[in-house]
């Protein structure tokens, strides 16, 4: 939903910005395939942000507190904190098809961080994508979304990072991108073509939940960075809800960031506002559980948001029209459950499911509510693109641990146990059982994801 990707990240466009501008068009096939984009290394639990608490009579105290909250909404710590590193000191590796870059130190250290940034410098970096030295930032920094942030909120963020964060003397790491891919000047062309105009001062949205939700989703939440498909130059196909491409789903880091629109098969059409807020606050609901980059979003950002803001996001998302308004809602079918219990389905998919999946997800496909997610009528299962399912079966998945849902459940990976054909067969079984109607999965699709995610070689048979 909201972005880290391991990808709340618009860093898919790293490749685009690092190539010469004319070469961007040649990336079309790669872009449409949604090749592995970004692989930030996840941190093992919520980032412990160290805050310098201002004195009670400090006139800046409220502004700093507001900035701290907004930094949580923007999930700044998730990218700018390396595993076992100091908060906001940078150094998190972000892998792209052309090499690795490292997140920067955004603590107020004057030598290695942003301690010498003026408010104008800070604003140019956050909303315009322009560094203090005038160069264009890699779009791993989702400034195309942050352009929507109001100046007053930028001021609060600046106050927090300058006065509420501990300075850390840690030099930024150089990128591991070879020349000529490392040239930055083409990024300025990309920015001028695709970055929207920055927001001006605006009236408060506090009294209108839907407007507040739109502001959070389109702006600091940068949900579009992962949940909107990319175009030929790896730009987001839409940045606002004027287009049904906006938040209609996109592949990032070999996970499908789901369709957040009102589609009844693969979107949020069957989710209530309460389902959405429960998912954002606890990483799970009766329909699904967070996986991939969304785990980090919930763990580091969404669970700390106010109930009012989570409700605003939910209300706004429920206004988004479906991509396919003619799709019919799915209905549960118990045929597969009966066949599994009777032992009458001897297909490899059914047998693989019984041997490896049924203990948690049950013969009914309904799992155990908010413990082991349902597969029956799941929007993830019924997505046309099976990338997420293949990735999860091969490498496993973990739910986030949060204050409202502290129990941490994990699914093991089966990459060393199941062949590509086994995975294809069991997923095809899942995607066509209990009322699910998704296309079959092929061994070739599994083999590609196995290679892309660095899974173990398939076992010999």
Contacts (Cβ under 8 Å, ≥6 apart) of 207: none
Q: Residue 57: its pLDDT value, please?
A: 67
Rounded CA-CA distance 170/168 in Å is: 6
Report the distance separating Cα 358 and Cα 168, nearest Å.
49
Q: Where are the domains of the chain?
A: 58-176, 334-453
| 150 marked ligand binding residue | no
Question: Which residues, in sequence order, are CB contacts of 367 under 8 Å at separation 6+?
Answer: 360, 361, 373, 374, 375
C-alpha–C-alpha distance, residues 346 and 339, integer Å = 9
Phi/psi of residue 159, nearest 5 degrees: -60, -40
Query: What is the rounded distance in angstroms from the CA atom of residue 15 to the CA atom of residue 164?
Result: 34
DSSP of 57-92, one letter per residue? Answer: T-TTHHHHHHHHHHHHHTTHHHHHB-TTPPTT-B--
Does 391 belong to an annotated binding site? Answer: no
Please tell me the distance from the alpha carbon of residue 328 to that of residue 324, in angstroms, as a whole number. Answer: 9
208-236: burial string, b at 16+ Cβ within 10 Å, e else = ebebbbbbbbbbbbbbbbbbbbbbebbbb
Which residue from 166, 147, 156, 168 is spatially nearest to 68, judged by alpha carbons? 156
Q: What is the pLDDT of residue 183?
A: 80
Half-sphere exposure of 290 (CA within 13 A, CB side): 33
Flag whether 226 is marked binding: yes
Q: Consult the annotation and say whether 80 binds a ligand.
A: yes
Radius of gyration of the chain (CA): 22
Q: Read off the tokens for 155.
A: 């001021």
pLDDT (tens, 9 = 90+) of the chain, 461 residues, equals: 434 443 334 344 444 444 333 433 333 333 333 333 333 434 444 555 555 555 566 778 999 999 999 999 999 999 999 999 999 999 999 876 678 889 999 999 999 999 999 999 999 999 999 999 999 998 889 999 999 999 999 999 999 999 999 999 999 998 888 888 778 888 898 899 999 989 887 666 678 999 999 999 999 999 999 999 999 888 999 999 999 999 999 988 899 999 999 999 999 999 999 999 999 999 999 999 999 999 999 999 999 999 999 999 999 999 999 999 999 999 999 999 999 999 999 999 999 999 999 999 999 999 999 999 999 999 999 999 999 999 999 999 999 989 999 988 999 999 999 999 999 999 999 999 999 999 999 999 999 999 999 999 999 87
3-state secondary structure of 307: helix
Tokens for 90?
């940078």
Residue 128 is assigned to a ligand binding site? no
222 is in an annotated binding site: no
Please say whether the structural domain 58-176 has been given the CATH code 3.10.50. no
Cβ count within 10 A of residue 70: 19
Chain position carrying tokens 């030598």: 111
Q: What's the whole-model pTM score?
A: 0.87
Following DSSP, what letter does each residue of 356-423 receive, concatenated? HTHHHH-TTS--BTTTB---TT-TTTTSS--HHHHHHHHH-EE----SSS----EE---TTTS-HHHH
CA distance 341 to 128: 59
Which run of H or E residues covers position 243? Answer: none
Q: What is the pLDDT of residue 101?
A: 86
Judge whether 58-176 and 334-453 match in fold.
yes
Predicted confidence at residue 320, as pLDDT, reads: 98
Answer whether 188's CB lies under 8 Å from 281's CB. no
Q: Is 287 annotated as a binding residue?
A: no
334-453 carries CATH number 1.10.760.10:
yes
First to last CA, the chain: 39
33: enclosing H helix or E strand: helix 28-33
In 3D space, the residue among 283, 275, 255, 277 whose CA is nearest the CA of residue 40 turns out to be: 255
Q: Is the separation of the CB atoms in 416 and 456 below 8 Å?
A: yes
Rounded to whole angstroms, the Cα distance separating 63 from 155 reads 8
Is the Cβ–Cβ distance between 165 and 87 less than 8 Å? yes
């Amino acid at each position: 939903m909201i972005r880290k990707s391991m990808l709340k990240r618009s860093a898919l466009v790293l490749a685009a910005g690092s190539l010469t501008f004319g070469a961007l068009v040649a990336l079309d096939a790669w872009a449409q395939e949604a090749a592995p984009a970004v692989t930030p290394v996840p941190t093992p639990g919520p980032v412990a942000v160290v805050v310098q608490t201002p004195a009670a009579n400090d006139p800046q105290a409220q502004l700093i507190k507001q900035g701290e909250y907004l930094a949580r909404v923007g999930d700044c710590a998730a990218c700018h904190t390396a595993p076992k590193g100091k908060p906001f000191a940078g150094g998190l590796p972000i892998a792209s098809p052309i090499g690795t870059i490292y997140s920067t130190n955004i603590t107020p250290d004057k030598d290695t961080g942003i301690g010498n940034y003026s408010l104008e410098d800070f604003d140019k970096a956050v909303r315009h994508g322009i560094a203090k030295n005038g160069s264009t930032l890699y779009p791993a920094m989702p400034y195309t979304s942050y352009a929507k942030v109001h100046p007053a909120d930028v001021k609060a963020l600046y106050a927090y990072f300058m006065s509420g964060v501990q300075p850390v003397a840690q030099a930024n790491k150089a990128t591991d991108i070879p020349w000529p891919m490392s040239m930055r000047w083409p990024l300025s062309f990309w920015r001028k073509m695709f970055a929207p105009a920055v927001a001006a001062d605006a009236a408060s949205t506090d009294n209108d939940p839907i407007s507040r939700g739109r502001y959070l989703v389109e702006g600091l939440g940068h949900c579009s960075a992962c949940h909107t498909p990319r175009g030929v130059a790896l730009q987001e196909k839409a940045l606002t809800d004027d287009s049904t491409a906006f938040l209609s789903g996109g592949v990032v880091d070999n996970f499908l960031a789901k369709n957040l629109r009102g589609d009844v098969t693969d979107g949020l059409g069957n989710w209530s506002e309460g389902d959405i807020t429960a998912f954002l606050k606890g990483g799970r609901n009766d329909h699904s559980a967070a996986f991939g980059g969304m785990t980090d979003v919930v763990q580091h950002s969404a669970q700390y948001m106010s109930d009012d803001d989570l409700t605003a996001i939910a209300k706004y998302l429920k206004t988004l029209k479906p991509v396919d308004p003619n799709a019919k809602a799915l209905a549960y079918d118990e045929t597969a459950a009966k066949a599994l219990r009777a032992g009458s389905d001897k297909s490899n998919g059914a047998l693989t499911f019984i041997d490896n999946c049924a203990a948690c997800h049950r013969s009914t496909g309904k799992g155990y509510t908010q413990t082991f997610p349902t597969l029956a009528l799941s929007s993830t299962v019924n997505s046309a693109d099976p990338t997420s399912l293949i990735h999860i079966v091969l490498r496993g998945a973990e739910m986030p641990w949060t204050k409202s849902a502290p129990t941490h459940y994990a699914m093991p990976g089966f990459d060393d146990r199941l062949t590509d054909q086994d995975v294809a067969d069991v997923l095809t079984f899942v995607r066509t059982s209990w009322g699910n109607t998704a296309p079959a999965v092929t061994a070739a699709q599994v083999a590609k994801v196995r290679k892309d995610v660095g899974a173990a070689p398939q076992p010999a048979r």
